[in-house]
Chains A and B, each alone.
Chain A
Amino acid sequence: METQVKVDLTNFRLETRKWLEENCPISMREPITDAKQLYWGGSKGKFSSEDQEIWFERMLQKKWIVPYWEEKYGGGGLNPEQNNILNQEMSRLGCRKPHINFGISMLGPALLKFASDEQKLHYLNQICKGEVRWVQGYSEPNAGSDLANLQTKADDNGDHFLVTGSKVWTSYGDKGDYIFCLVRTDTSSKHTGISFLLIDMNSEGVTTRPIKLISGKSPFTETFFDSVKVPKKNLVGTLNDGWTIAKYLLTHERQMIGGIGETDKKKSLSEIAIDVLGKNEGILSDTSIRSKISNLEMNEKIFDLTIQRALDEHKAGNNSGAASSFFKYYGTELSIQKEELRLEVNGFNSTEWTSEESRNGLEARYFCRSKGHSIEGGTHEVQLNIIAKRILGLPTK
């Protein structure tokens, strides 16, 4: 038995490798250098190149937009081992993801766990075709760390809800087709008066306003709801039990943000440092920067090992639960430190904001953006509170 499984997996690997080599356009194997090279789909989605479209279409046909979801939902039906192999083979070739969508990374897992069969069939199939671009409506001006304080209300109005209020930090709110929202359906209790609602962004009464970041870019919006009619069937899970879904989903978001530091496939910091600062007797000439880089690398490598260990333990059946908070904290902290160190390495060049040489301040702006990593998806402080409370069991008062 055991050996048969192994043989099957080996065959799967070989077939996958062959298929990818034959089907992934060469330009789709280059590292991403610009956000435009990601395809987000949805009604406003545009392909930035012919190859991108070809790659998306081929993966779509293969049902590998979301390879690990069941086939009835439009997924590829791969088991975890197969999915792992696909990921390995894709990164071996450097294949880009054919499609990025919060529907895949955030909403999907929540729907799988909490939605009705009908909802799953409908929404997951849409997601697997890249037809709908999902955005997230959680935070509000007065509900950030204290998310459960949210006030956007959904009043029962017969066959539909009437939604009124505002959300902040909707990523790409101006490009979204649908927004998954936390809304207040009971004002008499805090955590148990929240529901999880799917809202069509084209409904009457929905408007957005861009939020400009210190990086000078505006990938976020405020989203306003003015008596927006939302059909009752768009409620996911039980009325007033949305907080359970929200918490579940936040865990997924945290894992995603925690991984931000790793996707950096550009030149390593030590290589850049050698280019900029030069070597002296075979070692990086600036020894204080040298030890800072090796210190960061130590932590990066050991962090990777820790993620690996957590996955292995998970497979072995030991779930370490609240650890996602630690991963979110530490992963983002490393990425922030790396950007600070990049400035030290690049010196005067590092702060250029508009020049041609700096490609319009690519690094300086990325540095500024990195400051959000310790805030989005629950701040550093909130993650540490969770660790203290849930893992360490420290008393709260």
Chain B
Amino acid sequence: MALVINEEQQMLKSSTKEFLDLKSPLSLVREMRDNNYNQFSSELWTEMVEMGWTALTIPEKYNGLNFGYVGLGQVLEEMGRKLTVSPIISTVLTSTSLISLSKNEVLKNMLFQEIMNGNKLCTLAHEEGSHHSPNIEISIVSKKDDVLVLNGKKRFVIDGSISDYFIVSANHESEKNVDLILVDSKSEGISFNNKVHMDSRIYSDISFDNVKIEKDNFLSSNGDGFEILEKTLDIARIGLAAEMLGNVQQAFEMTMQYLKEREQFGVKIGSFQSLQHRSALMFGEIELCKSIVLKALQAIDSDDEKLPELASLAKAKLGQVSKLVTNEAVQMHGGIGVTDDADIGFFLKRTRVTQRTFGDSNFHLDRVAKINKY
């Protein structure tokens, strides 16, 4: 497949940019943070739903747009440029992907409908440790007095504080399978510890204490839980890499603009060769990022067997480059760069969280080595 986006995808990208320029400028992130770390603008969400973003990756059979992940990637990239705060990562990128892979038709019909309408927010509750891992160590589904109950602790749940449903990964007590269970966030036995992180977004630690679950609420069946989970994580890694690509491009462009404006020693600071060379190298690194993100997005749409490796390459590379670019961006802004008055710091702080979400570069480099058997 040619490594370019087609005309339709280009149109989606442009209309996304236009929309966000208007509705979600960078200043909105600051505003939401200063408004007691507000996580959700229902007005913005309603408009995103109207733009069709929640339906992008839902198959036609369920009345979705079936536009594919290259398309969603363009939306995420543009959102990355604006650092837009919305439930797209949790509800669309992660949850919708997981639901698509499920064989539970009843749940699929119900959830897709609710998500497309923008009525319900959904998130994956999976992590348990301090670092990303696909494995589950704590959470467990077991039978108690003839009913199924969920016990466990999940960490770092994206949008956990605003979601209506959690999709919880847990080990099944009797079988050696991973279960993926839909849990209403208001169920009895759930308690939250909501934590603001460096990027001003809230991630929740969630405890499940004998939470009753219905047989019908399993998204996994016949032992396919882990497979679905792994694939969902790969898709999430790639989608997040697309957001990170937007982050770095925006931070880079803002910095190039600053180098053209700021004067010291009677000249524009962009005339200093040490800054020029580093800028040129960053340009090159960002070009590399564009290639791997697009390739990985295409691999989701084409169901490429190399998906796991491409997902890890994308997340590892974007983790490294986003660290490089945001550090350089702050440094090249000089003192202003470390003040809250400047917007550039928001990119630094967002990427320090995304670097680790769904696995940091250490994790993914190790995984690439394992996939390639060395």
Contact = CB atoms under 8 A, between A and B. Distances in A.
10 contacts: A139-B335, A145-B264, A214-B330, A214-B340, A214-B345, A288-B362, A343-B355, A348-B356, A357-B195, A364-B197
A350 B330 CA distance: 20
A374 B331 contact: yes
Interface string A139-163: 1001011100100000000000000
B264 to A, nearest CB: 4
Contacts of B323: 340
B356 A375 contact: no
Nearest to A143: B264
B264 A353 contact: no
B366 interface: yes
A251 to B, nearest CB: 20
B143 interface: no
A381 B275 CA distance: 9
B348 A212 contact: no
Interface in A348-395: 348-355, 357-358, 361, 364, 367-369, 371-372, 374-376, 379-381, 384
Interface string B332-367: 001101111100010011001101100010100110
Interface string A337-349: 0001001101111
A119 to B, nearest CB: 31
Contacts of B196: 352-355
A380 B200 contact: no
B59 interface: no
B155 A375 contact: no
Contacts of A214: 330, 338-340, 345, 348-349
A169 interface: yes
Contacts of A340: 323
A364 to B, nearest CB: 5
A353 B264 CA distance: 35
In order of increasing CB-CB distance, the 9 nearest A-B pairs are A214-B345, A347-B130, A347-B131, A212-B340, A146-B264, A351-B198, A354-B196, A355-B195, A351-B197
A235 to B, nearest CB: 27
Nearest to B362: A288
A367 B327 CA distance: 12
B374 interface: no
Interface of A: 139, 142, 144-146, 149, 168-169, 211-214, 216, 276-277, 286, 288-289, 340, 343-344, 346-355, 357-358, 361, 364, 367-369, 371-372, 374-376, 379-381, 384
B362 A371 contact: no
Given A145-B265, A340-B323, A348-B156, A379 B334 contact: yes
A375 B338 contact: yes
B48 to A, nearest CB: 26
B199 interface: yes
B286 to A, nearest CB: 20
A371 B338 contact: yes
B279 to A, nearest CB: 13
A352 B352 contact: no
A371 B344 CA distance: 12
Nearest to A287: B366
A272 B365 CA distance: 22
A288 B130 contact: no
Contacts, number: 121
B127 interface: yes
A136 B341 CA distance: 22
Interface string B134-165: 00000000000000000000011000000000
**Residue with the highest number of chain B CB atoms closer than 10 Å, among A149, A214, A352:** A214
Interface string B100-131: 00000000000000000000000000010111
B222 interface: no
Contact of B197 (A277, A352, A375): A352
Contacts of B353: 351
A365 B198 CA distance: 8
A291 to B, nearest CB: 10
The size bracket of the interface on B is: 35 or more
Given A212-B341, A214-B345, A348-B155, A379 B197 contact: no
B340 A379 contact: no
Contact of A277 (B131, B198, B265): B131
A381 B335 contact: no
B331 A380 contact: yes
Interface in B250-285: 263-266, 269, 272, 274-275
Nearest to B131: A347
Given A213-B340, A355-B196, A347 B129 contact: yes
Given A351-B197, A381-B275, 15 more contacts: A142-B263, A146-B265, A213-B338, A348-B155, A348-B156, A348-B203, A351-B199, A353-B197, A353-B200, A367-B352, A369-B338, A371-B327, A371-B338, A375-B334, A381-B272
Interface in B83-101: none
Nearest to B199: A351
B79 to A, nearest CB: 19
A371 B266 CA distance: 26
B265 A353 contact: no
A145 B334 contact: yes
B365 A288 contact: yes
B362 A344 contact: yes
Contacts of A371: 327, 330-331, 337-338, 348
A286 B327 CA distance: 25
A352 B366 CA distance: 26
Contacts of A369: 338
A96 to B, nearest CB: 27
A375 B337 contact: yes
B272 A168 contact: no
Nearest to A380: B331
A149 B306 CA distance: 57
**Residue with the highest number of chain B CB atoms closer than 10 Å, among A144, A351, A357, A367:** A351
Contacts of B199: 351
Given A288-B365, A381-B275, A368 B345 contact: yes
Given A351-B199, A371-B348, A380-B331, A346 B338 contact: no
